[in-house]
């Protein structure tokens, strides 16, 4: 009932957690889009600032050329224009035009140069008066004491050309010049920053869509579509400042970091809920198993206590009632009473040791002891039980002592539990072997207890050292026991710095328990 309740509670906790996670991920996606839009808007403002810088540089060059043209128009001679064209780097070709005579400069003297022919062909509609001089551009108007002037954006040869002109107030003479755009842009580019902002590449593109100048060293892929575009019109029509997205789209780096951090929080929340529920379920199962084991343990211990007490009481009553007339029966009854008392004592000691080990209150006082002597003492104490079960003990012990640093009581408890386990489960084999071997350059002593019974299944070789575990834990088990003997033996061995384990016999018969302990200083075999 408890496990079912915890499982249902976990489901009720997990369902809202999943719903919250879904809404959280949607909110993170919306926030990601918002951050991307904010970053895109910031990029657009950045490009507008760059476009303003470029436009300001072009206008400064136009104003400088316009001032020169005003001075040249007041004199109105080809020589002045030739000097202006030679001296002013922002003037590509200067010209002088009158309504009566047409184009006065550049004039045909020794033939037109290639640049002059292209210039005349480009502006022929203007010079032939098929196009008006007053174009609807931003800086045309009356300046310089009534003189009209302006700049005409002219599209020819798939390029944008800027033509400046001045008409003095006194007459219809037009003095003008075509702006050397490359020279102007060379100066403007020097005023731009050297690097693009992180996350994107900024470029200045001409009227044909070609990259005229690029900020930074990143290569713009052919055919790439800009993320943000800002036009340079009307100062420089069809020119634009563009921003290309890098490996991470504009604004997506910050948005992705935000989404990643938020996603990790959501995943952590879900993982905490799932792991918490799993932990509760596992804990409930463990509690249920522990409760079941403890119930079985209490039942087994009660049965174990009741059986020797019943036997002790029964034979004591027989002796008290004088029903054992001969000495042989009295000796037999007394031996049974002593044997059952020893059995009861071992059980009580196991329970007490288990309680102390679980509380951590049992302390081991290690002192040098002869392992051979302790082992023989234990075997002598168990001699009656071994004989009653028909178990023959074969000893393979060294002739000299093997001294180890141990707590004698703990060592005796280990040996009693291991040998008692071998008697109960391996006694049907009729034989038990005990041996002591010194290894590890004389630093390690290994005591082995082997029986020739049915052995331990492979899947239970480690589980037999668990507390309360028995291969058959029912009250009707063939052999009595509480499931604590081997658990206590291993715990005591580790408390003394040793190890108790189950080895696989070479011939595959029975079970072999090995106890490894360190040799005491000056000890040996």
CATH number of the domain located at residue range(s) 365-518 in this protein: 3.30.565.10
The answer to whether the beta carbons of residues 503 and 524 sit under 8 Å apart is no
CB atoms under 10 Å from CB of 38, counted, come to 13
Per DSSP, helices labelled H in 360-395 are 371-381, 383-389
**Distance from C-alpha of 445 to C-alpha of 499, rounded to nearest angstrom:** 11
Residue 241's pLDDT is what?
92
Closest CA to 512 of 404, 434, 416, 398: 434
Here the tokens at position 349 are: 């000691």
pLDDT tens track, the chain, 525 positions? 455 666 676 676 667 777 776 776 677 677 767 777 777 788 888 889 999 999 999 999 999 999 999 888 888 788 888 899 899 999 999 998 888 888 888 887 667 788 888 898 899 888 888 887 764 433 444 444 467 888 989 988 888 999 998 887 766 788 899 999 999 999 998 888 877 777 778 889 998 888 888 887 777 766 778 888 999 999 899 999 998 876 555 455 555 565 666 666 667 766 776 777 677 677 777 777 777 766 766 666 665 666 677 778 887 877 777 777 787 777 877 877 877 787 777 677 767 766 666 666 566 777 888 888 888 888 888 887 788 788 888 888 887 777 888 888 888 888 888 888 888 777 666 788 899 888 766 688 888 998 888 888 877 877 888 876 766 554 334 555 566 778 888 888 888 888 998 887 777 678 888 899 888 775 554
Residue 296's pLDDT is what?
65
Residue 476's pLDDT is what?
39
Residue 89's pLDDT is what?
92
Residue 283's pLDDT is what?
73
Residue 231's pLDDT is what?
93
Residue 142's pLDDT is what?
47
Instruction: Output helix, strand, coil percentages for the chain, rounded to the nearest 5.
Output: 50, 20, 30
- pTM higher than 0.75: no
**Distance from C-alpha of 395 to C-alpha of 366, rounded to nearest angstrom:** 26
What is the C-alpha R_g of the chain? 53
**Distance from C-alpha of 107 to C-alpha of 116, rounded to nearest angstrom:** 9
Q: How far is CA 50 from CA 147, 197, 202, 224, 231, in A?
A: 33, 12, 10, 20, 11
Here the tokens at position 267 are: 């995943």
The answer to whether the beta carbons of residues 220 and 201 sit under 8 Å apart is yes
Q: Which residues pair with 164 in a beta bridge?
A: 151, 177
The answer to whether the beta carbons of residues 66 and 166 sit under 8 Å apart is yes
Domain boundaries, the chain: 1-250, 365-518
Strands 174-179 and 200-205 turn out to be unpaired
Residue 428's pLDDT is what?
64
């Amino acid at each position: 009932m408890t496990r079912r309740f915890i499982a249902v509670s976990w489901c009720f906790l997990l369902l809202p957690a999943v719903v919250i996670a879904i809404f959280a991920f949607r909110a993170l996606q919306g926030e990601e889009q918002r951050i991307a839009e904010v970053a895109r808007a910031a990029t657009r403002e950045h490009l507008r600032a760059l476009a303003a810088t470029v436009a300001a540089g072009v206008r400064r060059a136009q104003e400088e050329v316009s001032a020169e043209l005003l001075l040249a128009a007041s004199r109105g001679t080809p020589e002045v224009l030739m000097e202006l064209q030679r001296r002013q780097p922002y003037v590509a070709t200067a010209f002088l035009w009158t309504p009566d005579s047409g184009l006065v400069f550049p004039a045909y003297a020794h033939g037109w140069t290639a640049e002059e022919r292209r210039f005349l062909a480009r502006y022929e509609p203007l010079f032939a008066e098929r196009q008006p001089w007053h174009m609807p551009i931003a800086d045309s108007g009356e300046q310089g004491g009534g003189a009209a002037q302006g700049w005409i954006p002219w599209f020819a040869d798939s390029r944008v050309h800027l033509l400046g002109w001045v008409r003095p107030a006194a007459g219809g003479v037009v003095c003008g010049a075509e702006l050397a755009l490359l020279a102007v842009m060379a100066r403007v580019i020097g005023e731009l920053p050297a690097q693009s902002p992180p996350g994107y590449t900024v470029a200045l593109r001409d009227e044909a869509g070609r990259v005229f100048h690029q900020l930074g060293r990143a290569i713009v892929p052919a055919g790439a579509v800009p993320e943000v575009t800002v036009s340079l019109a009307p100062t420089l029509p069809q020119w634009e400042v563009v921003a290309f997205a890098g490996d991470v789209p504009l604004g997506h780096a910050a948005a992705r970091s935000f989404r990643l951090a938020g996603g990790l929080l959501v995943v952590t929340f879900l993982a905490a809920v799932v792991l918490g529920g799993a932990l509760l379920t596992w804990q409930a199962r463990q509690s249920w198993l522990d409760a079941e084991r403890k119930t079985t343990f209490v039942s087994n211990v009660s049965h174990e206590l009741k059986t020797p007490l019943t036997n002790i009481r029964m034979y004591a009553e027989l002796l008290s009632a004088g029903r054992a007339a001969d000495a042989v029966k009295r000796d037999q009854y007394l031996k049974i009473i002593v044997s059952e008392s020893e059995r009861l004592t071992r059980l009580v000691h196991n329970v007490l040791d288990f309680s102390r080990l679980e509380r951590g209150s049992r302390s081991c006082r290690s002192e040098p002891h002869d392992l051979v002597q302790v082992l023989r003492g234990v075997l002598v104490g168990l001699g009656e039980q071994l004989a009653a079960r028909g178990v023959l003990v074969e000893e393979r012990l060294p002739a000299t002592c093997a001294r180890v640093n141990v707590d004698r009581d703990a060592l005796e408890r280990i040996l009693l539990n291991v040998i008692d386990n071998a008697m109960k489960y391996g006694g049907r084999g009729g034989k038990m072997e005990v041996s002591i071997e010194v290894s590890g350059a004389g630093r390690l002593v290994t005591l082995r207890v082997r029986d020739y019974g049915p052995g331990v299944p492979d899947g239970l070789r480690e589980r037999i050292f668990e507390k309360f575990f028995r291969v058959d834990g029912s009250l009707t088990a063939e052999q009595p026991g509480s499931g604590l003997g081997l658990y206590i033996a291993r715990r005591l061995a580790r408390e003394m710095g040793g190890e108790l384990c189950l080895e696989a016999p070479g011939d595959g018969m029975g079970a072999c328990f090995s106890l490894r302990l360190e040799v005491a200083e000056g000890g040996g075999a």
